[in-house]
Amino acid sequence: MTPIASLASTTLQMLDTPQQLSADAAVAEDARLALRTIQRRSQSLLRFVDAFRTLAHIPVPAMRKVPVKELFDHLHFFFQVQLAERSILADFQVEPVDLSLEADPALLEQVLINLVLNAVESLDHQDGGIIRVRAQRGERGQIKISVSDNGPGLPPELKEKAFIPFFSTKPSGSGIGLSLSRLILRLHGASIRFHSVPQVETTFEMVFPA
């Protein structure tokens, strides 16, 4: 905050000296530049504070039996326009189709949105993007839900980092999508991990206990 505050007072001083302002166009230009910097920094600070608030206030999950197909239908609908605009092919599969799990549907939807959004963003600079969202029952009755993309993926050294709050490799990313997702999943007794083969398949898999 301190650099923004001092930048603001210097700019104010410039503008409080009208003689100097009219005498020197360069002063006006400096003031404009300073104001633009203040505006930009304030916006990213606001984004950061918003992200921080989200992480600190996860509601207690209201668990109920959630049909996975219903969850996927909402998700598909939510992303429909964005996927079409970017010509990304999306494939949603639930096996068996009547699969359901104990979860807070709103929180779980938030997790899925974060994962699909990351997949969409990872496909930003390429054609032929494919996103697969799958749910299936594991050998021991656990439920596995995964989100895959064929984007550039994550290097192995990001294995743990990617889940750290505020870690982001994106110019305007807050870095809370994955950490928030992991927190929400823990509240469900579930886990999340990823496996990445660049340009072939990057998969984030969640496992819900039986």
Q: 17 to each of 21, 28, 38, 191, how far by Cα in Å?
A: 6, 11, 20, 60
Binding mask 98-127 for Mg ion (x = CB under 5 A): --------------------x---------
Residues in the interface with ligand ATP (CB under 6 A) total 21
Cα–Cα dist 9/93, whole Å: 57
Please give the full DSSP string across 42-86, using - where no structure is assigned: HHHHHHHHHHHHHHH-PPPP--EEEEHHHHHHHHHHHHHHHHHHT
Please, which of residues 14-73 interact with ligand ATP by CB under 6 A?
none
CA distance 151 to 196: 9
Minimum CB separation from ligand ATP for residue 121, in Å?
Answer: 6
Binding to ligand ATP (CB under 6 A) within 165-184 occurs at 167-170, 173-179
Q: Does residue 162 touch ligand ATP according to CB under 6 A?
A: yes
Give yes or no for residue 11 binding Mg ion (CB under 5 A): no
Strand 130-137 versus strand 89-95 pairing type? parallel
**What's the min distance (Å) between Cβ of 122 and Mg ion?**
9
Q: How far is the CB of 114 from ligand ATP (least distance, A)?
A: 6
Partner whose binding site includes residue 167, from ligand ATP, Mg ion, none (CB under 5 to 8 Å by kind): ligand ATP
CA distances to 12, 33, 43, 63, 113 from 6, rounded to whole Å, are: 10, 14, 17, 49, 39
The answer to whether 175 contacts Mg ion (rule: CB under 5 A) is: no
The residue among 146 and 202 lying less far from ligand ATP, judged by its C-beta, is 202
Does residue number 177 form part of the binding site for Mg ion (CB under 5 A)?
yes
Nearer residue to ligand ATP within complex by CB, 105 or 153: 153
Give the contacts of 29 (CB within 8 A, at least 6 positions apart). Answer: none
In the complex with ligand ATP, the residue whose CB is nearer, 11 or 203, is 203
Token readout for 76 is 């598909």
By the 8 A CB rule, do 51 and 173 touch? no
Residue 66 CB, shortest distance to ligand ATP, in Å, is 23
**AA identity, residue 109:** E
Q: What is the rounded distance in angstroms from the CA atom of residue 9 to the CA atom of residue 96? A: 63
Residue ranges binding Mg ion (CB under 5 A):
118, 177
| Chain residues that interact with ligand ATP, rule: CB under 6 A | 114, 118-119, 122, 149, 151, 153-154, 162, 167-170, 173-179, 202
